Structure 1
Amino acid sequence: MSSTPRRKSDLSEASQESKRASEFTLDQVEIHLKTPHYPELDNIQSRTAYPGTVSYKFMLTDRLPNVPNLLIQLIKRIDSEVPPLVKLCYGQNKDSLTECDRILTTLIATKKDTELCDTIINSCRLSEVAHLIQLFFLRLENPPFVAPPLFCETVCGGGFFIHPRKIARKESLCSRVAKVTQECLAGLNIYQQATVSYFIQRCQRWCQAEVAYQLKQDYTISANNTYTEAIRFLSRMFADCFVGLPQAYVAARTMSGHCQPTLEMKREVFMTLVGAVGYHIWHGNSIDTLYIPGTQQPGTLSKIYSRPSSTETCLAKHSMHKVRSFNWI
């Protein structure tokens, strides 16, 4: 008679132990998947008093490279102080944005005096340098990356994932999003191509460095989640200024019932460029465009370096005409 209660008690104790073990396992999983906190940055929208007033050619202090020297100076300042990436938003507010717009006007006016520009940039906080990059993109005559409808549809369709090791694989050159990206680049002028490739390369390096920094601080975090959140943070900071969308495409999506906000679509495009397109594409395109005379057209460059078929050349010319003809937002 006494054996039955013992069995029941043994079973209850075993169930409690298994429950505690499962709770411990869930806690361990939560610890493993935790990621650093990055601010949302939705309360501050970058606006400049002089949008679209500066040409790419005007900002080149020398004949080459084809990336504005002022942008290179700003990015080098960020290179010297990140990680962590959260430094880019410390102290950001509307007043600092207005002040940075004035500083940018001075930097553009004195762009040929490299030492003076360096002195001004080094006197700014890192968050102000990030503001200056945002405002500089807004001052340019066209956004660095103008996403045609085909690229937008590819991004909205999804089907690809972001992983810190994925962009290093050469197989990424053959992916669907990589091919569409290369077609988009063929439709941009040589200065836009060089600027896009240079900036996206730097963003990828910042995110990789962020993962290494956070793992050094806490080895239990998820590298993949940290990498994704770092890209998302940069998209919240730069996507609205860096990416342009076809106005007709956005209007058509709205009329067909797709009510995705324009800002959210820009962020998805930016995350795709940084997280889903391999750095082999950006590195190769940088070699092709950074030190090539700007008078040469992208179609000519493609013939020199990649020797495309006649069909691909026609597609590149068509894409180039299409990108230049529509109004972007």
Structure 2
Amino acid sequence: MAGSTYGNIFKITTWGESHGKAVGVVVDGCPAGVPLCEEDIQFFLDRRKPGQSAYTTQRNEDDKVEILSGIFEGKTTGTPISLVVHNKDHHSADYSQIAECYRPGHADYTFDEKYGFRDYRGGGRSSGRETIGRVAAGAIASKILESLNISIMTYSKSIGNVSINYNNFNKDEIQKNPMYMPDSNAAKLAGDMLKEKMAEMDSVGGIIECVVAGMPTGVGEPVFDKLDANLAKAIMSIGAVKGIEIGDGFAVATSTGSKDNDGFKVENGHISKTSNHAGGVLGGISDGSPIVLRAAIKPTPSIAMTQQTVNKSMENIDINIKGRHDPIIVPRAVVVVESMVAVTIVDLLFQSMTSRMDNIIKFFK
């Protein structure tokens, strides 16, 4: 299968299936000397693991990570870092009913058409458990960004029809509620709404917002490897994402040049912008302002409500999905979005190191 590797210099390759023995990632291109231990990675994995609340799948996985290579005496060695998480609580029998039919909203049909064969246990390679490798790699990328004073804040902007009120924004609240919302009032309303949808055997989607602070100017390439283009590819590669916008996003379509253009000013000897409608990216290159992006997450496709589908015998049938599934993907996807943003930025930072001859001379002399 092609397409399991992402990045040019800082590369990640995820592997494994939902109900296989394990899932994991190989990270190549990480510099030597980065302080790293399993606890650093586990902190990120704990943010996406199942069973955190009544609103997530009750699959009982501790998602404990094991470092197999690339670390010695608490620091990266510059060689490939291999990370593994073993699957333990997989109920493959729950999926025997879908072996001969296609679940609405899933990759069952397209996977079968492409390969002529599919692992139907929990979605196989198309399962959300594939994101464990992304999150583990994101933990490493975040350690690199931390050393450069670049920080990423990611949270649920909306769940279903419940959106946060920026007047109530509290960064510390994000980790305190199961919705990962920076607004405690909105989190409570979202929880009440989700209980109703669960009773109706239905699911909802939402929007994840990500803000990157401390970005230097000049990161990103001006043509195919634009910062915003690579971010879009990284985020859209997450299975549940159906749309992404950067800065004002789709709102620019109804704006005007006089409103949408960000002015420049000199302040304390540095150039900065008077606004940030562009979301921190101009011409595919970072402009020094915070990067602001939003990802639209679709409702969980696995619902117990009766749905119409077909089987391999070309018969129209009804289906009720069994198994343990999230009524909403958004809260657990917050760290996945953050991780892919971190991986993308690190990769482009490394590419930017060779953009200017004076920087090369300074490094080697």
TM class by shorter chain equals under 0.3
| Rg comparison, structure with higher value | 1
Higher relative contact order (CA 8 A, sep 6+): 1
Name whichever structure is richer in helix by fraction: 1
Q: Which has the higher strand share?
A: 2
TM-score, normalisation: structure 1? 0.26
